[in-house]
């Protein structure tokens, strides 16, 4: 009899805890979703992601990871394009530190679902399409799971486990509430999105002879390959000019052979300045092995613009 009462009491406790958890989960989602809607445009990664997914309306857009945010000097590129075309265009560097192939593919789709830019520049090295850590890449966008069908599709396509986890608001906002709150307190980022780095940490005395990858020793992640191909096809179908680019790394061992093949398959321009003698001979232009410093970014932006010129006629229309 006593044992039966204990079991009943235990069952009631479990039900009460479950109800409390459901209430807390609902409250977190209800409040956090509304706070996110009011985040400033440029204060932190989540705020910038919210801006590029829902508010950005620049005529020329740059998307990518930290390499994109640190490598494209927006004001310099804007001045060069204006001098070449005779017209001033609004340009925004929407690349974000810690956002890689799939989160940027998601952003690329979101952008053309809202409006039609004159040009989108997508900075991506092939290594991002090979990475298997795809769920972590998307997590900055998890607050928008219920708001955006495109974001929801990216998460749901990860599999049943992720679909179930994303139903929890506590999971969606895990580790993000402090970041979201801090976006209201931290200084406003630059309006054009470019984030400069200064100095260099490369020790040339430690540089050893490179061992380059051999084509055929690797393959693309199927989830990432599917999403990237979807972006290339959607931009072509919607007649939105898209240029894929890969900015410099210092003496990289990787290559972009499969990335180039995909761009050729979908007739998408590819500007590959990933592994070039000039940058490999000038370590002082790099903050670290994969990021240019501000001096290097200005040099790269000038070189990139020269290679971009053949594709600028489309924005004059």
**Whole-angstrom distance, CA of residue 293 vs CA of residue 20:** 50
Residue 216: predicted pLDDT: 55
277, 248 contact by CB (below 8 A): no
Which CATH number applies to 58-133+188-316: 3.90.1300.10, 3.40.50.300, 1.10.3720.10, 3.40.50.1110? 3.40.50.1110
**How do residues 15-31 score in pLDDT, each as one tens digit?**
888 899 999 999 999 99
Helices marked H in the chain? 2-37, 45-54, 66-71, 74-85, 101-114, 126-130, 134-138, 149-156, 160-165, 169-172, 177-182, 222-237, 257-265, 277-280, 294-308
- Per the listing, tokens 């979703």 go with 33
158, 223 contact by CB (below 8 A): yes
101, 137 contact by CB (below 8 A): yes
How far is residue 223 from each of residues 133, 160, 166, 263, measured CA to CA in Å?
Answer: 11, 14, 18, 17
Among the listed residues 96, 59, 117, 271, the one whose alpha carbon sits nearest the alpha carbon of residue 195: 96
**Whole-angstrom distance, CA of residue 23 vs CA of residue 5:** 27
Residue 9: predicted pLDDT: 79
Residue 105: predicted pLDDT: 97
From first to last of the 317 residues of the chain, give the pLDDT tens digit: 556 666 777 778 888 888 999 999 999 999 999 999 999 887 788 999 999 999 999 999 999 999 999 999 999 999 999 999 999 999 999 999 989 999 999 999 999 999 999 999 999 999 999 988 888 899 889 999 999 999 999 999 999 999 999 999 999 999 899 989 988 887 766 678 999 999 999 877 666 666 665 555 678 999 999 999 999 999 999 999 999 999 999 998 888 999 999 999 999 999 999 999 999 999 999 999 999 999 999 999 999 999 999 999 877 66
**Whole-angstrom distance, CA of residue 308 vs CA of residue 269:** 9
**Whole-angstrom distance, CA of residue 267 vs CA of residue 261:** 10
Residue 146: predicted pLDDT: 95
b/e 21-37 (16+ beta carbons within 10 angstroms → b): eeeebeebbeebbeebe
**How do residues 244-283 score in pLDDT, each as one tens digit?**
999 999 998 888 999 999 999 999 999 999 999 999 999 9
Q: What is the pTM of this model?
A: 0.92
Residue 94: predicted pLDDT: 96
How far is residue 198 from each of residues 15, 237, 286, 291, 296, measured CA to CA in Å?
Answer: 56, 40, 9, 10, 10
3-state secondary structure of 93: strand
- Pair type for strands 286-288 and 291-292: antiparallel
Half-sphere exposure of 208 toward its Cβ, with a 13 Å CA cutoff? 3
In the beta sheet, which residues pair with residue 243? 121
């Amino acid at each position: 009899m006593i044992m039966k009462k204990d079991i009943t009491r235990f069952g009631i406790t479990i039900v009460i805890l479950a109800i409390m958890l459901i209430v807390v989960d609902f409250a977190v989602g209800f409040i956090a979703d509304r706070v996110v809607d009011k985040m400033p445009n440029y204060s932190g990664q989540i705020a910038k992601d919210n801006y590029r997914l829902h508010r950005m309306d620049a005529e020329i857009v740059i998307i990518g990871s930290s390499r994109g945010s640190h490598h494209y000097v927006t004001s310099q590129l804007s001045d060069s394009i204006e001098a070449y075309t005779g017209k001033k265009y609004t340009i925004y560097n929407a690349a974000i530190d810690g956002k890689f192939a799939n989160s940027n593919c998601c952003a690329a789709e979101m952008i053309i679902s809202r409006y039609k830019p004159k040009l989108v520049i997508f900075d991506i090295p092939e290594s991002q399409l090979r990475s298997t850590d795809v769920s972590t890449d998307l997590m900055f966008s998890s607050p928008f799971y219920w708001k955006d069908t495109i974001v929801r599709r990216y998460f749901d396509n990860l599999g049943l486990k992720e679909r179930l986890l994303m139903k929890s608001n506590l999971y969606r906002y895990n580790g993000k509430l402090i970041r979201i709150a801090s976006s209201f307190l931290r200084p406003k980022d630059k309006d054009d999105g470019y984030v400069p780095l200064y100095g260099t940490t490369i020790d040339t005395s430690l540089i050893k002879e490179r061992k380059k990858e051999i084509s055929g020793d690797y393959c693309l992640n199927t989830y990432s390959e599917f999403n990237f191909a979807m972006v290339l096809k959607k931009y072509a179908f919607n007649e939105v000019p898209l240029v894929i680019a890969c900015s410099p790394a210092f003496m990289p061992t990787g290559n972009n052979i499969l990335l180039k093949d995909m761009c050729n398959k979908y007739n998408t321009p590819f500007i590959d300045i990933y592994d070039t003698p000039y940058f490999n001979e000038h370590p002082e232009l790099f903050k670290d092995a994969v990021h240019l410093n501000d001096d290097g970014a200005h040099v790269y932006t000038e070189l990139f613009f020269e290679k971009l010129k053949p594709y600028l006629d489309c924005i004059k229309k």
